[in-house]
Amino acid sequence: MQFRQKALSKLQSPEELDVPVRYARPQGRIVLIVTVLVMAAAAFWSVTGTVSSTLEAPGVLTHGEGSYLLQSPVAGQVTEVLAEEGELMAADEPLVQVSTEAGVTAIRTVAPGRVTTLAAGIGSVVTTGADVAVLERVEEREDPLIATLYIPGAEGEGVSAGDKVDLTVASVPVQQFGVLHGTVESVGRSPSSQKQVASFLGDARLAEQFTRGGPPVAL
């Protein structure tokens, strides 16, 4: 390899050997220290850090056992409603009286719960299998509410018990009351069908809404 003679001469006889060494000013040292700290933090995060993500999911506030839909076992006309919405009822308690060709039949609850929806009123004509009421499965008024959320099945693998959740309630202004903070207690092992969601919520319309994008995973 060949070099120009002038360049070789400069290497042999540097021109600025007498120039004093310049040390960094205090401001320069501060910048250097901060840069090193940031680099060190970045290196530590690359080893121990995790990437967080946000997922939005619809759901309802309900009780742990969900709700059930009470349907009429007979056809006839409702002559008496024995409970009101919000009332707590025991198992096998009469809720509605229906007049049939064979006489008067009482439609009874199948499990204890709170009446959340009355679908039949006095004078209503019901058929066998018609919806009569929806009851939340609770035994005590103090039973706590939980949030049941439904996320797309493909995204269920990214959620695990212990994950933090921020909840906003559609009927409550966020600006005034803020959000609810919670923790994921459990994740469904497999996606739920529309029928399973409807059975848990006691609401076919909500089930259709929550499964519109495919079978979801329940949290």
DSSP string of 105-171, one letter each residue:
EEEE-SS-EEEEEE---TT-EE-TT-EEEEEE--SSTTPPPEEEEEEEGGGGGG--TT-EEEE--TT
Are residues 35 and 85 part of one domain?
no
Are residues 199 and 156 part of one domain?
yes
Q: Quote the mean pLDDT of the chain.
A: 75
Q: In the predicted model, is pLDDT for residue 2 greater than 50? A: no
Q: What average pLDDT does this structure show over 85-106?
A: 91
Q: Please tell me which residue, 159 or 70, carries the higher pLDDT value.
A: 70
Tell me the whole-structure pTM to 2 decimals: 0.58
Closest-CA residue to 216 (of 195, 43, 7, 98): 195
* Predicted pLDDT at 98: 94
Are residues 131 and 71 part of one domain?
yes
- Asked if residue 183 belongs to a domain, the reply is yes
Q: Please tell me which residue, 45 or 187, carries the higher pLDDT value.
A: 187
- Asked if residue 8 belongs to a domain, the reply is no
- Asked if residue 10 belongs to a domain, the reply is no
Are residues 149 and 127 part of one domain?
no
- Asked if residue 17 belongs to a domain, the reply is no
Q: Please tell me which residue, 7 or 143, carries the higher pLDDT value.
A: 143
How many domains does the chain contain in total? 3
Whole domain around residue 187: which residue ranges? 59-63+144-218
Closest-CA residue to 64 (of 147, 133, 141, 134): 147
Q: In the predicted model, is pLDDT for residue 88 greater than 60? A: yes
